[in-house]
Amino acid sequence: MQFESVKVRTVLLVSQIPGCILAAILGILVDVHVITVIVLLKAPLMLLKGWHRLIQDLIGREGPFLETVCVPFAALWILLWPIMVLLAIAAGIISGLGFGCYAAVVAYQENSTKRGLLYVIASASIFDEYTNDLLYLREGSCFPRPRYRKGAVSGSSLLPVKGLHGRLEAAYIGETLATSPADKANTLKAATIWDNFFKTFGDIGKELLIMEAIGIPDLDAWADSKSKIVNIGIPAYAFLECFLRSIKHGSHGVILRDNVELTRLNRPEGRIFDWLYEPMCIMKEQIMSLKLDESDETYFYKHCLYGGDAERIKSWRNGGTPPSDEIKRAQLEGISRRLQGFCLTLSRLPTSRRRFCEVVKAIEQEAKNCSNLSGGDDLEAAR
């Protein structure tokens, strides 16, 4: 009897093969052509944005242009950038084959040819969203994204961005922009916000140094442009702390570390804060929808700080463990990556590197103070 049941199971699996082959063939035919169109349409944007970023780095002496000796080689990147774009186009077109073939995997796993075909439709949206994130374009996609997994819905699922916009608008009902002289007098100054941000980065950097989550080598690596813990990890950690504090206090906006509440009413006017404020509120709402416990939060902090570096995450024993729910963990890590991308853009704003240099000096001074109190050996040991 046991042999017969195994035999039946084998027949059932083999019976899925025709549907898988059909899903793969249609996937390749559709995805290769659709993804090729997406890649060709976005290639000029990649070319222009890449040149713009490289020229900005050249003028500001940042990134690959940080050291004088590297300028000739880095300048070569500007000339060779079109070749890199062509390689990216080729890689994108080839990836269409992978997306198409994966439709067979979905059809087999879900035991449904229909689910495989739904993945063929959704894969265009997945690729489009990925390229939008890569090129810092508007979030989302113009392509439909049907649900192709039966178990895709989870109690810890993220709120869709459209739903978040609706919730944010609902939170703002009854609020009006600061137009009267009294309201404008209460508007926070941009300089106050920036000063608060970088002061927070410095304070958190010192705390992380004391907790041995970061060390002097991380500061040295940042100075050599070999590490992003200082200009991305620490700010991501700081913003996460800000979001969690705001959630616990039930704030409609975000509460900064000195208990100043930044809301739609009192935020500074200007393009930068238009860009800055809404993504912060959206990420806060997404984090709130996950309903994190204390262990999830401490793991979230580690992932934000180390940018997903598995060895560093494992080495810092702060009590945080990954969520047991794989979907929840993927969503948490996805928000972490988005937060790091947000901080990467923030680090490219004018004067940011100079301000981060001040943050590093403050952290190094804290390390020296700790070294003096402990006898002077800790700093050398840290190096």
Write the pLDDT tens digit of every residue in 243-273: 999 999 888 888 888 787 888 777 777 666 7
What letters, b where the CB count within 10 A reaches 16 and e where it falls short, cover 45-76? ebbeebeeebeebbeeebbbbbeeeeeeebee
**What is the average pLDDT across 327-354?**
83
Q: Which run of H or of E encompasses 261?
A: strand 261-262
More confident residue, 331 or 272: 331
Residue 340 and residue 36: Cα distance in Å, rounded?
29
**Does the pTM exceed 0.75?**
no
Residue 263 and residue 254: Cα distance in Å, rounded?
7
Average pLDDT, the chain: 78
More confident residue, 207 or 373: 207
Judge whether residue 61 has pLDDT over 90. Answer: no
Summarize pLDDT for 348-379 with one digit per residue, the tens: 776 777 788 888 888 888 888 876 665 555 54
Summarize pLDDT for 130-158 with one digit per residue, the tens: 888 777 676 668 888 888 887 544 333 44
Q: Which of 154, 158, 152, 44 is CA-nearest to residue 106?
A: 152
